[in-house]
């Protein structure tokens, strides 16, 4: 099945749950359920973002500033398509001031696991990638104290960092941070992430994260680059060339890194740890019907692969709610380098909210 998160929020048409679509047989592209996440009354879902499968759990970024948690859900037994709430992996430490945060967890966007015991979470309002130590069973996590990056500790021996910091911000003291010690500004040359402001609030900041070959890839939307950091010690390795639009979503498949950046999709051969460089090429597919998806006005969200031969791509034609929401298309992935995305076909159209992330789950049908 294909799992989909949406922009969500408090609007009438905002979808604050995960939709599940069939990807097999006669029911192909049928909406199995609009509420794949089953939660107790004590849990509020709002502005869901990235999803990740690890530890026999589905982890979901509960991204709204008022929530700012990563939630864990138990996998259903086939043919069920409902994921039952299991626990909160990590959440924010709030101050007495509304929507102000004392640790690096704030408005989470991307999630990626290095292994069963370690994951990384990108946070838009602190502009930090957090390192989370995951406890037994994958049910609980901790940030530890201060910076997780040995590299940053050596570069800034007297620096101050929010708990859990693994990749830091070029501007440490952001509007919604309430910390006893002002976080240190980390220069871009040392891996600091860009941030932009509007009306004294964070407008654009860190987005998605991915891992391959000992490297943590991070979308730096304001600086329009993907940065590379070593998993071993947090060492800043370098960055991609600047793209025309800021990168927002990442996916890894068959030795390649896929990057959604505005209306374009890029591909790069995954670097080996011995040669950590990243060269990117545009591979943007054309939707099969320009009447449904106007290529020059959409943005591409978080894509998902069904094995190596099929990719699902969400086209975002709005910014939440039905203004309008967007569509999801399916493409075949060619075997050439760079891969060509061909034979586009509509999978789900006229969505009432903006699709954010897709995740293929093979165990639910």
Q: Are 56 and 7 in contact (CB under 8 A)?
A: no
Select from 315, 356, 307 the least CA-distant residue to 333. 307
pLDDT for the residue numbered 95:
75
- Give the model confidence (pLDDT) of 135-147 as tens digits: 999 999 999 999 9
Binning pLDDT at 50, 70 and 90, where does residue 181 land?
confident
Tokens 């406890």 -> residue: 135
Q: How many domains does the chain have?
A: 1
Short-list 364, 314, 363, CA closest to 5: 314
pLDDT in tens, 254-282: 999 999 999 999 999 998 865 678 899 99
> Is the pLDDT reported for residue 134 higher than 90?
yes
Confidence of residue 287 (pLDDT cuts 50, 70, 90): low
What average pLDDT score do residues 348-361 get?
Answer: 94
- 110 in Cβ contact with 127 (< 8 Å): no
CB–CB of 266/281 below 8 Å? yes
Range of the domain at 52: 2-360
pLDDT of residue 294: 52
Gap between the Cα atoms of 16 and 211, Å rounded = 27
Q: What is the pTM of this model?
A: 0.95
Read off the tokens for 178: 């309430």
Cα(268)–Cα(281) distance, integer angstroms: 6
**Confidence band for 18, pLDDT divided at 50, 70 and 90:** very high
Please measure the distance between the N-terminal and C-terminal CA atoms of the chain and give it in whole angstroms. 6
CATH number at residue 188: 2.120.10.30
| pLDDT tens, position by position, 302-317 | 999 998 799 999 999 8
Residue 341 predicted with pLDDT over 90: yes
In a domain, 365, yes or no: no
């Amino acid at each position: 099945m294909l799992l989909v998160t949406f922009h969500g929020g408090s609007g009438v048409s905002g979808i604050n749950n995960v939709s599940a679509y069939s990807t097999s047989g006669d029911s192909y592209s049928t909406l199995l359920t609009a509420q794949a996440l089953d939660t107790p009354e004590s849990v509020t879902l709002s502005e869901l973002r990235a999803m990740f499968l690890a530890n026999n759990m589905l982890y979901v970024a509960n991204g709204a500033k008022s929530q700012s948690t990563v939630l864990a859900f138990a996998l259903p037994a086939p043919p069920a398509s409902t994921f039952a709430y299991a626990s909160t992996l990590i959440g924010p430490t709030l101050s007495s001031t509304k929507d102000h945060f004392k640790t690096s967890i704030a408005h989470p966007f991307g999630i990626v696991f290095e292994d069963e015991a370690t994951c990384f979470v990108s946070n838009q309002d602190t502009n930090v990638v957090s390192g989370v130590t995951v406890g037994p069973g994958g049910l609980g996590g901790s940030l530890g104290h201060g910076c997780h990056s040995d590299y940053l500790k050596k570069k800034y021996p007297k620096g101050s960092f929010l708990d859990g910091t693994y990749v830091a911000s070029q501007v440490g003291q952001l509007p919604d941070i309430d910390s006893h010690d002002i976080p240190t500004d980390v220069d871009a040359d040392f891996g600091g992430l860009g941030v932009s402001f509007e009306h004294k609030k964070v407008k654009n900041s860190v987005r998605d994260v991915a891992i391959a070959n000992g490297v943590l890839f991070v979308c730096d939307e304001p600086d329009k680059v993907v940065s590379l950091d070593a998993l071993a010690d947090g060492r800043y390795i370098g960055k991609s060339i600047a793209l025309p639009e800021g990168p927002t979503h990442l996916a890894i498949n068959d030795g390649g890194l896929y990057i959604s950046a505005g209306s374009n999709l890029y591909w790069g051969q995954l670097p080996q740890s011995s040669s950590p460089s990243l060269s990117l090429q545009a591979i943007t597919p054309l939707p099969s019907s320009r009447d449904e998806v106007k290529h020059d006005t959409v943005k591409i969200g978080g894509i998902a692969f069904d094995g190596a031969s099929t990719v699902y791509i969400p086209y975002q034609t709005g910014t939440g709610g039905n203004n309008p929401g967007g569509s999801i298309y399916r493409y075949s992935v060619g075997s050439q380098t760079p891969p060509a995305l061909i034979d586009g076909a509509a999978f789900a159209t006229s969505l009432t909210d903006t699709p954010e992330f897709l995740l293929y789950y093979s165990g639910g049908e």
